Every structure is written in structure tokens, then in C-alpha cells.
Structure 1
Amino acid sequence: MKLKLLRRLALALGAALPQVAAAQAPALTTFPVGTTTVTASALASNLSTIWELVWGPDNFIWMTERSGRISRVNPTTGQVLPLLTIPDVTESNESGLLGLAVLVPAAVPASTSYLVFVVYNYTDQGVLKEKLVRYTYTNGTLGSPVVLLGNIVATTTHSGSRLLLLPDNTLLMTTGDAQQQPQAQNLASLNGKILRLNLDGTIPANNPTPGSPVYTLGHRNPQGLVQLPNGRIYSSEHGPNNDDEINKIEAGRNYGWPTVEGYCDLPAEATFCTANNVREPLTTWTPTIAPAGLAYYDHPAIPGWRGSLLLAVLKGSRLTQLTLDAAGLAIPTRTDYLTGFGRLRAVCVSPQGRVYVGTSNRDGRGNPAAADDRILVLENRAYTATATRPAADFSFGLFPNPARRLATVQLPTAGYRLQVADLLGRMVLSQPPGASATAVLDLAALRAGTYLVQADGPAGRATRRLVVE
């Protein structure tokens, strides 16, 4: 029994450590981010309309392609390992296999059996629809599909859809308005919404409207969704011919579509916004750029991107950095990078600070190069991860452990950034470097379970296990 426990802990800690470095691929381009030189290279090529890239609990990239294929991609070698091509996916115009999320079941946190959630379009008696399906991944095989939510109205455009797993073991799913604009304001419709479900497809008891999966309403076509370590959630959304948006997602809020486009800056919009609890966007684009995948970057490898959202852009063909103010309520600056690779749909960040971007040039709206579609790697090749230093570099105290609401961290000196991650590697708490060698972690928002506390500072990086009761 003790050996099993040690093996599970070793696997969990191993997931937080850098992988063995791969031979560096040829640079396709370089660009500056502040004083850092970022190199872009190709990890994998000759793919077809990449839709989703997710960093998995196995330290592989999980990928969907719109035609219906789910694969794991080795981030060291670029080898694409197909798992399943879903037989009833309907790919037409914007429809097909869309968002994906991967979860280790809470009961077996170091297991190699995962729950895999996907959303896709299918045809039912000649009518296009959308559904959310849960698969089980075990021993290299993806199977046992369970439909959690189906029969969602769809067309060949405006289907969304991104998935986001939350720390409370619920799942968010974005849906587009399916070109039926008034339905975005109809609580009885699943279109033009962000939905929240339990992992078995049931409705959480604390959803904004009892008995309803609707978490937010008034969306046109949200195609990006991310949660920060502090719990804040952001989404990207396609506007019509104006007002693409970045939104801060808050439970129960209305995001205005179709009455409101962008800000509440017209008289009729202002009246509607006041009466309907509308949350204005943090920033907009006119002309539109077609914003897609959204990720959060907070790694020392590329300091100029720390604390920012990274946005994959389709029509605008670029990666955009969106800085956030301290409250997360404003985007003071927008900076564009990575032009010249066409349409960009998906983005994810590895624990080692590399950024993976998926192109979407074979989606019928791009001009594919011979090697498209590709997964591009953006990295600071001059960066040496402090986690590769010997474990004896430093240690820190953590007490009490197990803890309930508060835990005290005793560090060698001041100046350490603290991050708390669950055993999937998802950051659930982050504190900037402090002026004291003693820090206090507020654990009140964390569920009971096992976490990894990482201290990153002058002496390198160290990790300790923390049990929250």
C-alpha cells in the first residue's frame, strides 16, 4: 500500500518537472518580447484544421482536428499519435469536431485513466446539431462515449465551442447563436450561451438559474475560454462586422447580443444594459479580427508576457498579447506577434513556459502552405529552467500540513513567487513575490485534496506537497 502511495506521489511530482530537452527544430522566425528573443519553430506539420490544443495530464499535447480526429502529440519529438476519429462528426464550413478538455478522475489523481470531453457537430435525420460527449482514455485507448448534452440547435456557422474544466469539478461549454440571434437572450435555449455542467452531465445546484445549465447568456460566437490561477474567467467572442470582444465571464451575467454590439455606448444599448445586467467587454476590435483560442501566460521563460492573455487570431493572422491590470478588469495594452503564418486557431502553454499555437489554414478560409496545418512552438531558447537545479538548492517550510483555511510558507529570503497547483498541473492560486520571507496562503477557496506548492525565486525553484482538508 505504501509503495502505491509513493508511486502516485512520484508521478504527480514528475508531471511538474521539465521534460528532457529535444533537439531544437530549425527556427522559422524570431521576434523580440521586451529584451527576450522568442524563436518560432514547427513541432508537427501536415495536419488538417487544428481546432484545439490542450496540455494534458500526461505531459502530451491533446489535439482535435475539425474532421473528427483526436490525437496526442509528443511535445519533445512532434510525433502525432492518433487516438480516435469520431465517426459521426459532420464537418461543413465551420462545423465539425471543436473543443476538448482532459481530466484525471479525482479518485485516482495519479492514474493513467482520464476523462476526455469533446464537443462536436453531427447530423440527426438530416438536421445539423451539436453535442457534448465524454470519453474514457485507458491504456492508450479512447472509448466508452457517453453523451452528456445533445440535440443542440446548430448550423454550419456559429457553433462555438470551447470547453473549460473548473477546479470544483464542473465544466463550462460555449455555444454560438447558430445564426438564430434572438435565442442568445432566451434562457430556454442552449444557443448563444456559456453552459455549466457537472462531469456526469447533470446541472450544478448552484448554477445562476436553478435547473438550468445556463451560466451566462447573450453571446454571439465565443471561441476562446480560459481561467486564471486567481479564478477569473475570460472569453473571446466573434462580433458581426464590428466589435469582436474579450469578456470577463461572471456567473449569471448577460453579454448583450444581439441587442448590444461591443460596449453599451448607444442610447438603446445603454437602456438594455441597465435593465438586463449586461457585462461590457474589456476590449473590442473594429474592424473585426476573428479572435479564437485564449491562454494565460505566467512563466519566467518569457518575462514580457507574464500575467497576460495570449489570443490566437484567425482573420487577423496573428498572436496577440493582452495585458491585464491588477484587478483583471481592464486590458491596458494589446501587442501583436507571430504574423506570417496565416490563420491561428488554438493556443496552449506548457509548464516549461513554451507556447504552442495551432494554425487553421485548411479550414476553407485560408491560404495553406505546403506544410499546413502546423503546431508552432514559441520559446525562449536562452532560458534555463530553475527547476533543473539540484533539489538541494533550497527548501522551504510549509505548515500546518494538512491545512484547512490558511498555510504559512517559510522561505529562505524575500522575493519568492508562490503558486499552488492541483495534481493536473492547473494553477489554482498565485501570489507575487513578497517583501518578507514569511508568506501566508489563503486556502479558503480550495476544495479538499492534494496540491503542489511551488516557490520560485532567488535560489531557484522548489516544490512541496500540501494536503487541504
Structure 2
Amino acid sequence: MKSLRNALLAVCATGLPLVACAQAPALTTFSVGTTTVTVSALASNLNTIWELVWGPDNFIWMTERGGRISRVNPSTGQVLPLLTIADVTETGESGLLGMVLHPQFATSPYVFVVYNYTDAGGLKEKLVRYTYSATAGTLTAPLVLLGSIDAATTHSGSRLLILADGTLLMSTGDAQQQSQAQSTASLNGKILRLNLDGTTPANNPIAGSRLYTFGHRNPQGLVQLPNGRIYSSEHGPNNDDEINKIEAGRNYGWPNVEGLCDQLGEANFCTANNVREPLTVWTPTIAPAGLTYYDHPAIPGWRGSLLLAVLKDHKLTQLTLDAAGLTIPTRTDFFTGFGRLRAICVSPAGKVYIGTSNRDGRGNPAATDDRILTLENRAYVPTATRPATGLSFDIFPNPAHRQATVQLPTPGGRLTVSDLLGRPVYSVQPTGTTAMLDLAALRPGTYLVQADGAAGRSTRKLVVE
């Protein structure tokens, strides 16, 4: 029996579908429309999970606030530590925070993290790039891309997001220096935009400045949709937590505006200062954290929605978007009972992974906290395991430069272009059998083009030069 168990674990470790592996015990279930979603624990006994990223190796990459970076096997739950960063300062809400992987990880195995550290007795924040070795299982060669940002024990931000154009966004909190959020000379209370080498993009809103947006209090979620739209979650004071649509150069109001421009003084400030109002607000506050986009057939009721991990109110919230992405028509809460939820990511198989944050000093940790929780539709059968279908398509030219043509067998369906991390960067719904892919915003590299239609699903590689 022991040898059989080891053999099964070896199969699971290859990343094969979980139908070949023992499923973790269900902790609870809930309904999303007619779909039953099962919650189970993937990994336990962790400490203040801050970030979860689905990696190109089909592992989950994780940061814990104390300074540890690990890879987690999504089939077995095995945690494989890579590095504990020595100069991380964990105090209050500070510590090791956001992380993102280079979109061309196979050729540029870089891992970007942001964390707090102590410099001359003061708390600071910096963005650092590490190099990953798959053979050694290590992260080495730290390179500071941006440092000496003012920090405090609260309001540090900081999510990282690499956009489809190959630039990096980094959110920063106001570090309890509220006026700095409105100062374009300060890096606090901002969403910053950098090139992946740390330099400043030439087309940033202010020439020579890393500033992308300003007037933020404590933004802790960032996501870009395949259509290019960017959204952020942000903590308010005792009122007006926010979901914002991020637009280059815009002012988001803090501290002069709390939430909507619905007070006389706020309305005047908004008019005079190009303030972008949030799409939705919460009063009393809920403490919104990690934010992702769900567009997978495994859980149809969540398709085309934002999913928000919530700290104070201990829940997962679905935020639907209108066709233009300018309003949130509905907010639906799910999945309570596991305490503070901070990190969230989605696998290419449509499973949602959530990291709890009950050991952050503000929760009531259970004996097994903190945990990575898996949310999945166990009745869903992926297209790849269904009987062979007649769906096939062609891409030409391939390699391509600024555009490519896709020839489909039948009209309709959906085309999704993803990077090698499995993250959608572009999508289109063809009306006929021929579709044009606009590749102008994509960096050179290898991508995956997935076609979904009545006949099934198929995927092809596309090289962008």
C-alpha cells in the first residue's frame, strides 16, 4: 500500500488532472447558480499568506509576510520553500507583500517581489528582482529595481501586476502620510509603472516619473482583463472601501475625497482635479484585498466577473461588470467561515485558490491556519478529457508581428490569447470563420491561443516577433 501511495503522489506531482489523484476532503460546499463549488484545504500551517500566483510550471507561487517565498504543488499540497528574505521587516502590516513572475519565464526566469525593510532605523519599501533556478530550486541574484520608499506599519499596498505591454504596475499605500497621496513628487499613495528593468517608461503620464495614477490610500488588489482594462481594490478609512477602474494619469481623490464625489467639497475637488470615482464602495468597510478575473466554463456563474478576497468581512465577493466595464451591476457574497481572506488566483483548469490571513495579528487563527483553500466544481469535465471533437483552427502568419489571422471551422465562439503563465492577455469573439488578432500591444515571445466553440476547445502556440 505504501508503494501504491508513493506512485499516486508521483503521478499527482506531474500536474496531471486530479481525476488520477485522491481528492482532498470537502470542508464545505456552496452554490453558484446551478453549480456546486467544493472547498477543500490544499496546504495548511502557513503564516500570513500575502500573495498567490499561478506559475508557468503549473505550481502555485506563494509569499508569506515573514519573508518566505515558496512553490506549492496544486495536486499534493507539498510546500517547496525557495527563499526566506533576510532583510524583510515584519511589523504591523509590513513584511513581504506582492509578487509577480516574468511573462516570458522560460527564457527570463525572474521573480519580482515588494517588501518592507529597515534602513537607518526607519521602515522603507522596495521592489526587488530575483532569478529562479529550476534545477537548484533557488532564488538568487537580488537586484533592487526601486527602493527607499517611505513605509509605515500600516498602509503599505502593495500588489504587483505585469501588463500585456510588458510594463509592471506596483501599488503603494500612503504610509500614513495622507498628503503625500496627492503629491506627484512622492511615490506613496500611488500606482507606479516601470519597465521590467526598473527604468521609467517613456509614455508614462508625467515624463520621467514612475507615477501612473495617484490619490490612493491603501490599494491591495490589481488585475488586468484580456480587453486591457485594469481594476484595483482599495481600503478606505472607516468608510468607503473601493473598487476602481485604473486609468493612466487619473487622480483617485484621497485624502480629499472618500469614495464617491458625493459631498459638496468633494464634488468641487473632483471637478477641479480630474478625479476618477470608484465603481462601487462599501460603508461599513469590509477590507478588500486580492482581486482576480474569472472567465472559465468550470463555474459558469462567475464567468466575466471580478472575484475579490475580503479580510475583515471574511468572504469572497463576486463583482459583475457591464459590457463597457464601467459599472458593477451586482455584488454577491460567498464562502464565509474561514476567516480573513487576502490572496487569490485562478488556475488554467478554472480552480480558484485563496490564501487565508488569520495569523496577521487581526484574526483568530484555527489550529491549521493559515491555509490555501481550493474552490472547484468537481463535476466539471475539462474539454481535453472529453471525446475527440472536430474543432481545429489555423493561425497565420506564425511567427507573427503586429497581427495574425485565425481561420475557424465554424462561426462564433471565443479566442483567448494567454501568456506562458496561463494569464489571458487578449480575447475576441469572432462573428465569422475568420478572425484578426491585434498583437501590437504584446511583447515578443511565445503565447497560447485557445479557441472555444460548439465543437469543443483547441489550443495552439503563437510566436510574436
Percent of residue pairs identical: 79
Give 1:78's aligned residue: 77
Q: Is it true that 1:185 corresponds to 2:185 in the alignment?
A: no
Residue identity opposite 1:221 in structure 2: N
Paired residue for 1:141, among 131, 138, 142? 138
Paired residue for 1:416, among 410, 413, 416? 413
Say which SS state the counterpart of residue 377 (structure 1) adopts. strand
RMSD: 1.7
Give 2:25's aligned residue: 26
Q: Is it true that 1:459 corresponds to 2:458 in the alignment?
A: no
Q: Is it true that 1:196 corresponds to 2:193 in the alignment?
A: yes
* Residues 78 and 386 (structure 1), Cα distance of their counterparts in 2 relative to 1, 3 Å cut: same
Q: Is it true that 1:278 corresponds to 2:278 in the alignment?
A: no
Greater mean alpha carbon deviation, residues 194-203 or residues 244-253 = 194-203
Task: Give 1:445 shift.
Answer: 3.1
Pairs within 5 Å for 1:71-150: 71-103=70-102, 106=104, 110-111=106-107, 114-138=109-133, 139=135, 140-150=137-147
Paired residue for 1:175, among 172, 177, 180? 172
In structure 2, distance between residues paired with 1:414 and 1:267: 52
Q: Does the 8 Å contact 1:254/1:278 carry over to 2?
A: yes
Measured against aligned partners, the alpha-carbon deviations of 1:170-214 in whole angstroms (never above 9, x if no partner) come to 111100000000000011111000111111211111111111111
In structure 2, distance between residues paired with 1:443 and 1:172: 21
In structure 2, distance between residues paired with 1:420 and 1:220: 34
Say which SS state the counterpart of residue 270 (structure 1) adopts. helix
Greater mean alpha carbon deviation, residues 194-203 or residues 17-26 = 17-26
Paired residue for 1:394, among 391, 395, 403? 391
Residue identity opposite 2:46 in structure 1: L
Task: Give 1:58 shift.
Answer: 1.1
Q: Is it true that 1:360 corresponds to 2:357 in the alignment?
A: yes
Give 2:423's aligned residue: 426
Q: TM-score, normalised by structure 2?
A: 0.93
In structure 2, distance between residues paired with 1:383 and 1:441: 30
Task: Give 1:268 shift.
Answer: 1.0
Q: Is it true that 1:445 corresponds to 2:441 in the alignment?
A: yes
Q: Does the 8 Å contact 1:423/1:450 carry over to 2?
A: yes
Q: Does the 8 Å contact 1:18/1:388 carry over to 2?
A: no
Task: Give 1:393 shift.
Answer: 4.1
In structure 2, distance between residues paired with 1:380 and 1:302: 7
In structure 2, distance between residues paired with 1:307 and 1:392: 25
Measured against aligned partners, the alpha-carbon deviations of 1:6-49 in whole angstroms (never above 9, x if no partner) come to xxxxxxxxxxx973323210000100001100000000001001
Task: Give 1:452 shift.
Answer: 1.8
Measured against aligned partners, the alpha-carbon deviations of 1:380-433 in whole angstroms (never above 9, x if no partner) come to 00000002346664311323434444433222223421111123322111123x
Q: Does the 8 Å contact 1:18/1:387 carry over to 2?
A: no
Q: TM-score, normalised by structure 1?
A: 0.92
In structure 1, distance between residues paired with 2:201 and 2:440: 20
Say which SS state the counterpart of residue 301 (structure 2) adopts. helix
Say which SS state the counterpart of residue 28 (structure 1) adopts. strand
Residue identity opposite 1:300 in structure 2: P
In structure 2, distance between residues paired with 1:141 and 1:402: 33
Residue identity opposite 2:150 in structure 1: V
In structure 2, distance between residues paired with 1:208 and 1:34: 42
Say which SS state the counterpart of residue 82 (structure 1) adopts. strand
Residue identity opposite 1:123 in structure 2: T
Task: Give 1:294 shift.
Answer: 0.3
Aligned residues: 448
Give 2:334's aligned residue: 337
Q: Does the 8 Å contact 2:389/2:455 carry over to 1?
A: no
Structure 1, unmatched stretches of 5+, are: 1-16
Say which SS state the counterpart of residue 26 (structure 2) adopts. coil
Greater mean alpha carbon deviation, residues 289-298 or residues 413-422 = 413-422
In structure 2, distance between residues paired with 1:362 and 1:206: 41
In structure 2, distance between residues paired with 1:211 and 1:162: 22
Structure 2, unmatched stretches of 5+, are: 1-13
Residue identity opposite 1:42 in structure 2: A
Give 1:306's aligned residue: 303
